[in-house]
Chain A
Amino acid sequence: MPIEILMPALSPTMTEGKLARWMKNEGDSVSAGDILAEIETDKATMEVEAVDDGVLGKILVASDTDNVAVNTPIALLLEEGESDADLSNYSAAALTPAVQTDAQPATVSSETTNVAAPEAPKAESIAPESEWDGPVISTTVREALRDAMAEEMRRNEKVFLMGEEVAQYQGAYKISQGLLDEFGAKRVIDTPITEHGFAGLGVGAAFYGLNPIVEFMTFNFAMQAIDHIINSAAKTRYMSGGQVSSPIVFRGPNGAASRVGAQHSQCYASWYAHCPGLKVVSPYSAADAKGLLKSAIRDPNPVIFLENELLYGQSFDVPDTDDWTVPIGKAKVVRPGTDVTIVTFSIMVGKALEAAEELAKEGISAEVIDLRTIRPLDTETILNSVRKTNRLVTVEEGWAFSGVGSEISAMVMEQAFDYLDAPVQRVAGVDVPLPYAANLEQLALPQSSHIITSAKEVCYRS
């Protein structure tokens, strides 16, 4: 049988085009790669190249023919050993647009668009860390983070730390104090000021099986690197069909510090939490900071670890052990209550606890949930609380628009609508770039007074 040459598509959306002119005549011998014809669409002119060697036996669609449907046979090619006689065997009935293939094509789903996607797998319930009843040591968040890295670097040779000023300077915020001395320059690496470059370099090292901890001096600078965090780290496992993973931790301070201006004061929790493939962690206490950073370093996925500069110097009790881990994906009820649920994370946990203390004085029992992990979100803990209190206030430092509170509000509306006795309220940063002036900065960030007001409103108290 002669080989059919079909009208090609120039793009996935093309359905027909004009066969402008033939560049070869019947009887011409052609080699693979030779230009056979030119076709035109409303957008472009393209050349049809021969894929096989042979002789152009018969032209089925003449030059200057409009509206030729894609996949219509436009010519017949005689292979070596075939002659004109073989052309007579060709059935003209085949002259209809049809996909001519050597094998039966499997069904292509664009033809079956009414097939519903299967239901997403249910998130597995994650067990909380076990209660620690051993000795504790008062530790700053700064020391807890350092201890977590040091312990994991002792445990696994493939763990290394890189970032600006992490080695000789001992960390811009002194998080990596002492690590260079203990682990040497091979594993504690000062990078040039080159966030996009070293984030990508870290992802490459992770692809190959190392476990990089990439420190950003602040997450504001990670916007330079966000392409590698999302397009390279978060998506590659899926795009490789599960073959290539990115066991990497991106960590550093996130959100407002103290009067450092708009470019150094953004909360990125909702940005990263938006993206499948990433895990996003943002602890409050030193024990959680340590336990979660250790879990993040051991995790085979890319983890965004959002710290807070103002918390670095705060002290908390931390279990006195080098094997304290906290599971990623598990929130914690940090203050039980019955009247209203306050869901928050990072530095705002402190503000929420202050607010809860004040609310208690007025007879309102607030339950405060520290999310600790933003993605995967512990919906179970939030829903259990809302089903009990029937009222919800979310608190975050970032902007409300498309924020973490918006997501929680939508999730609760979807899954516990009938339990709500009042509309959810979102306490969030004011919708402006963060100002420098002390008074304006104070006005732009959520304070415990805002949380108190919202909690009272959802309780219909004033």
Chain B
Amino acid sequence: MATKKTPTKRAPKKRTASSALPSDVNNEMILDFYREMLLIRRFEEKAGQLYGMGLIGGFCHLYIGQEAVVVGIQSVLEDRDTILTSYRDHGHMLACGMDPDGVMAELTGRIGGYSKGKGGSMHMFSEEKGFYGGHGIVGAQVPIGTGIAFAHKYLDENAVNVAYLGDGALNQGQVYESFNMASLWDLPVVYVIENNRYGMGTSTERSSANSTELYHRGSAYGIPGMQVDGMDVVAVREAAKIAVEHARSGKGPYIMEMMTYRYRGHSMSDPAKYRSKEEVQKVREERDPIERLRAVMDKKNVIDEAGMKQIDKDVKAIVSKSAEFAQSSPEPDPSELYTDVYADA
């Protein structure tokens, strides 16, 4: 048994975007990618704006810049699969089909929010969409996701859990406790490291040994890993196919390191002094996932100018509607203070 998982047999790989599009990526799929990434970006911009107006309180961690990661991965998942992530979770919720109204209303702390206003930005769930949070303790989602994968296997569902974590969380001990059990028991889980290069204000270079190859972090447990251009939605999708198929077929966990970048601060109140404006600008200009997909669309004549404008307009309407709902939905009734602590025995 032990030999099947030697690191030599399951050596981590480095993957980059292929220039030609894979045959199964058709125009319709490209448009879906574009729409979904744009929705996340516009939604997050609006959330930032509402935060600036004092309508969203507490912490608010925006996903702007990282959209290709979750959109690419979600495109290979089945309805029965599950995902969970950290506190930077708005994009994941939108990508798995949760209602933007309910997400935005949770951000404003209203009864129409996914958690009736009792969870906030970092704590939303949708069993219907297979979204298991929204976790505020860095790294805690990793054993929880591993446990959901355990349940998938226990119930013989042929389903996969995708547990997202940041490069910062990757230094938490419980991540390795999870790697060990997931590999030991061949659990159907894909760990997606969203390496946006900073854990709050500390760069991976300053926090992580061998920081250029975080996808190797599962090697000691015999978990294969790959590094992927997380700013290229098609590359993400192609890589995710391999990882998800690996997990689904009973071969155990897989680690994907997504090279990505967040344009905004760690949270709204982060002035981001730990990096230069030029660094941010360079990524925006050269690697922006939406612009890159737009270039592919132009080249392949996927859609005309009017169609493009229509998508922009549609997305803007969805976001505006969510912002309106998030302000018109009432705050939870005071009686909600005491509900949902315990389930009835």
Instruction: Tell me the A residues contacting B by CB distance below 8 Å.
Output: 6-12, 32-33, 43-46, 48-49, 51-52, 70-71, 99-109, 115, 117-118, 120-121, 160, 186, 191-192, 194, 196-210, 227-228, 231-232, 236-245, 247, 276-277, 279, 295, 298-301, 328
- Is the CB–CB distance between B114 and A12 below 8 Å? no
- Is the CB–CB distance between B328 and A103 below 8 Å? yes
Identity of the chain A residue whose Cβ is nearest the Cβ of B124 in the assembled complex: A240
State the majority secondary structure of interface residues on A: loop
- Is the CB–CB distance between A210 and B140 below 8 Å? no
- Is the CB–CB distance between B58 and A8 below 8 Å? no
Q: Inside 8 A of A160's CB, which chain B residues have their CB?
A: 154
Which of B46, B180, B263 is A194 in contact with, Cβ under 8 Å?
Answer: B180
Given contacts A45-B271, A200-B144, is CB(A8)–CB(B52) below 8 Å? yes
- Is the CB–CB distance between B53 and A6 below 8 Å? yes
- Is the CB–CB distance between A237 and B342 below 8 Å? yes
Q: Inside 8 A of A103's CB, which chain B residues have their CB?
A: 324, 327-328
- Is the CB–CB distance between A204 and B55 below 8 Å? no
- How many whole Å from B13's CB to the nearest CB in chain A? 26
Q: Within the assembled complex, what's the spacing in Å between the Cα atoms of A159 and B330?
A: 40
Q: Inside 8 A of B20's CB, which chain A residues have their CB?
A: none
Identity of the chain B residue whose Cβ is nearest the Cβ of A303 in the assembled complex: B345
Contact residues of B between 57 and 72, Cβ < 8 Å to A: 57-58, 64
Given contacts A277-B341, A277-B342, is CB(A198)–CB(B181) below 8 Å? yes
Q: Inside 8 A of A120's CB, which chain B residues have their CB?
A: 338
Q: Inside 8 A of A301's CB, which chain B residues have their CB?
A: 342-343, 345
9 of the cross-chain contacts (CB-CB < 8 Å) are A8-B48, A51-B49, A198-B143, A200-B147, A203-B147, A204-B149, A239-B115, A239-B118, A243-B126
Q: Within the assembled complex, what's the spacing in Å between the Cα atoms of A243 and B48?
A: 27
- Is the CB–CB distance between A46 and B271 below 8 Å? yes
- Is the CB–CB distance between A99 and B54 below 8 Å? yes
Which of A70, A107, A204, A210 is B146 in contact with, Cβ under 8 Å?
Answer: A204
Q: Inside 8 A of B58's CB, which chain A residues have their CB?
A: 12
Which of B140, B151, B327 is A102 in contact with, Cβ under 8 Å?
Answer: B327
Identity of the chain B residue whose Cβ is nearest the Cβ of A212 in the assembled complex: B147
- Is the CB–CB distance between B177 and A106 below 8 Å? no
Q: Is B307 an interface residue (CB 8 A)?
A: no
Q: Within the assembled complex, what's the spacing in Å between the Cα atoms of A99 and B110?
A: 17
Which of A99, A104, A201 is B143 in contact with, Cβ under 8 Å?
Answer: A201
Given contacts A105-B327, A117-B334, is CB(A49)–CB(B145) below 8 Å? no
Instruction: Specify which of A33, A208, A242 lies most central, judged by the most chain B CB atoms within 10 Å of its CB.
Output: A208
**What 18 additional pairs, Cβ within 8 angstroms, besides A12-B57, A192-B184, A197-B146?**
A32-B41, A99-B53, A101-B55, A104-B328, A108-B55, A109-B331, A192-B177, A192-B180, A194-B177, A197-B178, A200-B178, A203-B147, A204-B144, A205-B150, A207-B147, A244-B127, A244-B132, A328-B345
